[in-house]
Amino acid sequence: MTPLKLVVLGGTGFVGRHLLARLAAEGHAVTLLSRNLAAHAVRLLPPGVVLREVDVYDPTALKQAFAGQDAVINLVGILNERGDSGRGFRRAHVELTKLVIAAMQLAGTRRLLQMSSLNAGRGHSHYLKSRGEAEAAVKASGLDWTIFEPSVIFGQGDGFFCRFATLLKLARPVLPLARSQAKFAPVYVQDVVEAFVRALGNRKTFGEVYELYGPDVFTLAEIVRLTAKQCGMKRLVLPLPDALGRLQAFAFDFVPGKPFSSDNYRSLLTDSVGGIDGLHRLGITPTRVSAILPEILGHLDDRQTRYARYRSAR
């Protein structure tokens, strides 16, 4: 592929870090927009990636940043907001997407790759509703867009298996679990990156939505037990009835960092499994969780965890 001039929003997140490295390695000229340069370690960016301080909610600044670029990649997304009104989700997902679209139209930049979520527009959570509204704006934009809808994304440093590993260390000997029967088809972060890269210069992907999910379907309880086993921890997963699960989520609304929330609970009411395999459509063979899980959780090992795994294997 001919090297392109790309602008990335939300590139400091989990997927963004992996995608930036891949784009830079392929020789693309990548500009990463950030509202606060001081919050990022420039030395950790891949060679060839330029970090530019821009208020992404400033239409004029966005237009200037997009001028002369070949494509814009919008990875911005949040899993929780302050409070539970939906305003934070709308600002991050809907309002920003509309600003991006308007700025691209004014700058004459037509190619947009938009990160969304499996089940966008379905269910009752603010997260999924706002993702759906953002998708509707993209589809009505008249731009050359491609939308990606991943299930939960896994990989080293993720917010899923790694987060549960941390919680399991604290939850001794029992982990009460809301919506334990909720289903997921986790997709590997490098498969998501591959999907973005393959779509970038492929006109056949214009106007297409790609569901990205893996070959394995797990309940939330199975994921937690799998994590505990890999870490060598013996924990009892205690499924909570929905009434207690909602109460647990409400209580976590007031915990700093919100490891769980009422909106997370509402999202879990809709299984995160796909219907039309976007990886297959793009010619990508999906990666199984079992092939990557030791790598994901291995860096979390401490001496006690390694000893516990040794004992459980005997």
Q: Which residues does 309 contact at the CB level (< 8 Å), separation at least 6? A: 230, 231, 232, 301
The SS3 of residue 187 is: strand
Q: How far apart are CA 292 and CA 228, in angstroms?
A: 15
Helix axes 96-107, 126-139, angle to 10 degrees: 20
Q: Find the length of the chain.
A: 314
Contacts of 90 (CB under 8 A, 6+ apart): 126, 130, 133
Give yes or no for residue 312 having a pLDDT over 60: no
Q: In this model, does residue 313 exceed pLDDT 50?
A: no
Contact (Cβ atoms closer than 8 angstroms) between residue 263 and residue 84: yes
pLDDT at 196 over 60: yes
Give pLDDT, residue 35: 81
Instruction: For tokens 């969304």, name the residue.
Output: 116
Domains with residue ranges and CATH for the chain? 5-156+184-212 (3.40.50.720)
- Taking only the tens place, the pLDDT of each residue in 8-19 is 999 989 999 999
pTM: 0.93
DSSP conformation class of 288:
P
Contacts 24+ apart (CB under 8 A), 251-259: 253/84, 258/80, 259/163, 259/167
Q: What is the pLDDT of residues 240-273, one digit of tens each?
A: 999 999 999 999 999 988 989 999 999 999 999 9
- Mean pLDDT is lowest, of 25-29, 275-279, 305-309, for 305-309
- Residue 90 burial class via C-beta count within 10 angstroms: exposed 0-12, middle 13-18, buried 19 and up: middle
- pLDDT at position 314: 45
Separation of alpha carbons 200 and 108, rounded Å: 17
Above 50 in pLDDT, residue 307?
Answer: no
Q: How far apart are CA 12 and CA 34, in angstroms?
A: 9
What DSSP designation does 43 have? Answer: G
Q: Give the distance, in angstroms, between the CA of residue 170 and the centroid of all CA atoms in the same chain.
A: 25
Tell whether the model's pLDDT for residue 302 goes beyond 70.
no
Question: Kind of pairing, strands 111-115 and 144-150?
Answer: parallel
Q: What is the CA radius of gyration of the chain?
A: 20
What is the C-alpha to C-alpha distance for residues 220 and 237, in angstroms, rounded to an integer? 10
- Percent of the chain at pLDDT > 90 equals 83
pLDDT beyond 60 at 213: yes
Could you tell me how many helices (H) and strands (E) the chain has, helices first?
Answer: 13, 13
Amino acid, single-letter form, for residue 101: I
pLDDT band at 122 (very low <50, low <70, confident <90, very high): very high
